[in-house]
Amino acid sequence: MEDMKENREMKAIIRILRFNPDIDEKPYYQDFELELSSGTTILDCLINIKDNLEGSLTFRRSCRSGICGSCAVRINHRAMLACKTQAMDVVRDGVVLVEPLVHLRTIKDLVVDLEPFYNTIEQVHPWLITDHTLKKKEEAGTVIPADVELLGSVDDCIFCGACYSDCNVIDVDRSFLGPAAIAKSFRFTVDPRDSAGDERIRQLVEQGLYKCPVDQECEIACPKGLSLRRDIIEYLRCGAVTNEVGPMPAHKRLIMSVLDTGASVPVTTTQAVDEYPEYECDFHGIHELYIKKFEGEPVAEVVLFFGCIINRRQQDTAAAIINIFQHNNVAVHIPKKQVCCGSPFMRVGMRDAMKPFVTQNFEIFNTYAIHGVPHILTSCSGCNSTFRHDYPGLAREYGLDFDFEIVDVGEYMTMMEADGNLRLEDLKPVKMRAMYHYPCHIRASELDESIYVDLINKIPGMELVQVPSSGLCCGGGGGVRAAYPEVSDKLSIRRMEVAKEEGVDGLLTNCPFCILSFERGLELMRESGEPMEFGIFDFYKVFSRAFGEEEDGTGGVRVEGVGCREDPVFEKQVYTQLTPSPLTIIPHTG
């Protein structure tokens, strides 16, 4: 990409999905070779093609300034405004793929019927509803500067439909309103002049407010940068709890489990923190495990926070993480009294109930930090996102010190590599052809996908198949797996099916919730009599075995995955990153 930007001009193929229902039986791709230069937008490319190469090409455009939203299309499988997208920034292997928005009927080429999208907006009654029985201005509600700021956070929406197109839930449940409609409802719900706020929230809950897995695909698509997850959806969920119309019954059971047991799942087997009694000790009043199996001084000491799922359900993942650090001479502190990070409370709108968990975690983390161990490492992407984004605000609200630093395990491995402390030369070959599944909570933590992809590619023998970022969701986040399992299951199965089409042996990921969702999807496929030969591979377990755990007798490492074949064959194949579906591609011949 940097080379492309340095070259002020370049040639590229603009590959456009075309369809004229009057004459075409099915859509097809058509290629157009163009000269691109700095400043050329995708809309410029489309206009050039229509004016000089193919006059029948049809698309919408108007302001060319990112204001009207007319030119929204999908570029490399993501919804964007053509007028705001620099062509040279989106060239992949010499090609830019341009397609119409999805979830909407194609009228012709890149023009879609937006009526279903507009209908979702209309469903939330996007106008002020005034109680005319209130005579005084004060009774009717007065807008103050704070209200203006809150309303302004959503008024930038230009109804381009990008978020609707990229919404994972709409892929599997067309009854879901979608992000834009929820945002528009929020705009009037928080308006002090509106008298129907409580009723709006009740209707939103009925219309699927809790169906959103908070995967933030809508935020990536939004050309105006609206904070749809935390500022809108989670705000409305808090409002639903305040008005006693939320959360969903399954969420209430989940929260009761956290309140009763300190974690989002009950104890059914030995917790990871209880599996190493020989390492128990005291650290300045904290009952902990201090694990250092290697000789000599450690290159570093860190605190491991496993999270509920890994501690109580995926103990082998906890063991793998410990093994990674022991192999690389990092001593680990593991507090025995680990409690829920509070994410379930935040995601379903019950943030007021999470204070005891937050204060206990702060007390533990700050104690480590002031005694020389400031790095708190998380192996759960949901915990990491909560610690990074929610805890700073909660610290200010509760008057707590924030002396520690939150780091993801994979992120810390990259830091070790930069310092020369990650012993990559010890990695043994792993026979696997897989696709990395980028967890939405990792992305919410603003940790780039390349951190994990680059690490995986360091393992000899690993063939990592990559496709343009699809944003496909596992369906496990935001409480969806608890309240709407049918939506979650459809999303997880769809994600695996798409990956399987690329010829991989499985998905490799570093999120315990994603793993649980994919495991459930595979189990449902087996129960339906259509088992899927597909593996789900844990990022940490793969690395642990590559560092020497469970050698396969041939100098390499055999990695098993849920649902994987007994004797998988990992063939070396050349893979082109941008591969369209098997539709006909017609090159433009002039």
3-state secondary structure of 553: coil
Nearest to 286 by CA among 355, 356, 368, 212: 368
- Render pLDDT for 546-588 as a digit per residue (tens, 0 to 9): 998 754 343 334 344 443 333 332 222 222 222 233 333 344 4
Is residue 554 one of the residues assigned to a domain?
no
Same structural domain for residues 260 and 278?
yes
CATH number at residue 9: 3.10.20.30
Is residue 135 one of the residues assigned to a domain?
yes
- What's at 404, amino acid-wise? F
Is residue 555 one of the residues assigned to a domain?
no
DSSP letter string over 55-121? TT-----S-SSSSS-TTEEEETTEEEEGGG-BGGGS-BTTEEEEEPPSSS-EEETTEE--HHHHHHH
3-state secondary structure of 558: coil
Mean pLDDT along residues 115-121: 97
Number of domains making up the chain: 4
Cβ atoms 518, 510 nearer than 8 A: no
Domain of residue 54: give its range.
Answer: 2-112
Whether 4 has a pLDDT exceeding 60, the answer reads no
Same structural domain for residues 262 and 344?
yes
Rounded to the nearest integer, the mean pLDDT of the chain is 90
Same structural domain for residues 11 and 81?
yes
Q: How far apart are CA 232 and CA 74, in angstroms?
A: 25
Is residue 576 one of the residues assigned to a domain?
no
Same structural domain for residues 400 and 266?
yes
Between 6 and 347, residue with greater pLDDT? 347
Whether 135 has a pLDDT exceeding 80, the answer reads no
Same structural domain for residues 284 and 343?
yes
- Using only C-alpha atoms, the chain has a radius of gyration, in whole angstroms, of 26
Same structural domain for residues 236 and 126?
yes
Is residue 585 one of the residues assigned to a domain?
no
Same structural domain for residues 158 and 221?
yes
Same structural domain for residues 409 and 264?
yes
CATH number at residue 504: 3.40.50.1860
Cβ neighbour number for residue 471 with a 10 Å cutoff:
20
Q: What is the pLDDT of residue 144?
A: 87
Q: How far apart are CA 33 and CA 83, in angstroms?
A: 19
3-state secondary structure of 486: helix
Q: What is the largest CA-CA distance in the chain?
A: 84
Same structural domain for residues 283 and 407?
yes
Q: Residue 106's beta-bridge partner residues?
A: 112
Same structural domain for residues 307 and 227?
no
Is residue 586 one of the residues assigned to a domain?
no
Cβ atoms 491, 475 nearer than 8 A: yes
Quote the pTM value.
0.88
Domain boundary among 112, 141, 165: 112
3-state secondary structure of 515: helix
Q: What is the pLDDT of residue 97?
A: 97
Q: How far apart are CA 505 and CA 560, in angstroms?
A: 11
Residue 494's H or E segment, with its range, is: helix 485-500
- Beta pairing, strands 375-378 & 300-305: parallel
Is residue 484 one of the residues assigned to a domain?
yes
Q: How far apart are CA 70 and CA 61, in angstroms?
A: 5
Tokens for 421? 């402390």
- Render pLDDT for 68-94 as a digit per residue (tens, 0 to 9): 999 999 999 999 999 999 999 999 999
Confidence tier at 469 by pLDDT (50, 70, 90): low
- Residues found in the chain: 590
Place of tokens 């967890």: 439
Domain boundary among 529, 546, 563: 546
Q: How far apart are CA 164 and CA 115, in angstroms?
A: 12
Same structural domain for residues 26 and 96?
yes
Mean pLDDT along residues 304-318: 97
Same structural domain for residues 164 and 105?
no
Is residue 186 one of the residues assigned to a domain?
yes
Q: How far apart are CA 347 and CA 159, in angstroms?
A: 26
Angle CA 117–118–119, to nearest 5: 90
Domain boundary among 189, 207, 242: 242
Q: How far apart are CA 55 and CA 191, in angstroms?
A: 47
Cβ atoms 188, 128 nearer than 8 A: yes
Mean pLDDT along residues 367-374: 98
DSSP helix, strand, coil percent of the chain (3-state; round to 5): 40, 15, 40
Confidence tier at 136 by pLDDT (50, 70, 90): low
Q: How far apart are CA 111 and CA 19, in angstroms?
A: 10
CATH number at residue 192: 1.10.1060.10
Q: What is the pLDDT of residue 553?
A: 40
